[in-house]
Amino acid sequence: MAEQLSPADRSTLAVLLDGIIPADEHGPAAVELGVLAFLERGLAEDTPGDITLLRELATAAQDAVGADHAVEELGTTDVAVLLATLDREHPTAFELLRRRAIEGFFADPTYGGNLDEASWRLIGYPGPKGTFTAADQEFA
Partner 1 sequence: MTAHARRLDPVDVAIVGLGAAGGIAALVLTQAGLRVEGIEAGPHLGRDEARFDELANDYRNRLGAAKANHEVPTWRPDSSTEATTSYDGRIVSLMGNGVGGGTVHYAGQHFRLAPWHFRLRSAVEKRYGGSALPADCTATDWPVSYDDLEPYYALVEEELGVSGIGGVNPFEGDRSTSYPLEPLRRTGWTELMAAAARRSGLHPFAGPAAIRSAPHRGLAACTYCGFCNWNGCHVGAKGSTHVTVIPRAELTGNLTLTTKARVVAIETDAAGEAAGVTYVKDGETLFRPARAVFLSAHTFENTRLLLLSRSTAFPRGLGNTTGQVGRNAMSQVFVGVDGVFPGMSLNRFGGTYPQATSLDDWNADNFDHTGLGFVGGGCISAIHEAKPIQTALSTPPSVPRYGHAWKRWLATNGNSVGRLMAISESLPYDDSFLDLDPTVKDPTGMPVIRMTYRLHDQELRRFDFLHARMSELLVEAGAAETWTSFRRLPAAPFQSVFGATRMGLDPEASVVDATCIAHDVPNLAIVGASSFPTSGGYQPTATIQALAWRAALRLIETLR
Q: Looking at beta carbons only, is 67 or 134 nearer to partner 1? A: 134
Near partner 1 by CB under 8 A: residue from 11, 103, 109, 112: 103
88 binds partner 1 (CB under 8 A): no
Q: Using CA atoms, how far apart are residues 34 and 101, in angstroms rounded to an integer?
A: 10
Instruction: Tell me the C-alpha to C-alpha distance, in Å, between residue 65 and each of 38, 51, 58, 74.
Output: 26, 22, 11, 9
Site string for partner 1, 61-80 (x = CB under 8 A): -------------------x
Q: Which phi-psi region, left, alpha or beta, contains residue 69 (left: φ > 0; alpha: ψ -120 to 50)? A: beta
Instruction: Tell me the C-alpha to C-alpha distance, in Å, between residue 99 and each of 12, 53, 89, 105, 129.
Output: 17, 13, 17, 10, 25
Q: Looking at beta carbons only, is 67 or 110 nearer to partner 1? A: 110
CB of 3 to partner 1, least distance (A): 18
How many alpha carbons fall within 13 Å on the CB side of residue 8?
Answer: 10
86 binds partner 1 (CB under 8 A): no
Contacts with partner 1 by CB under 8 A lie at 19-22, 24, 26, 46, 80, 83, 87, 92, 98-99, 101-103, 105-108, 111, 119-120, 122-126, 128-134, 136-140
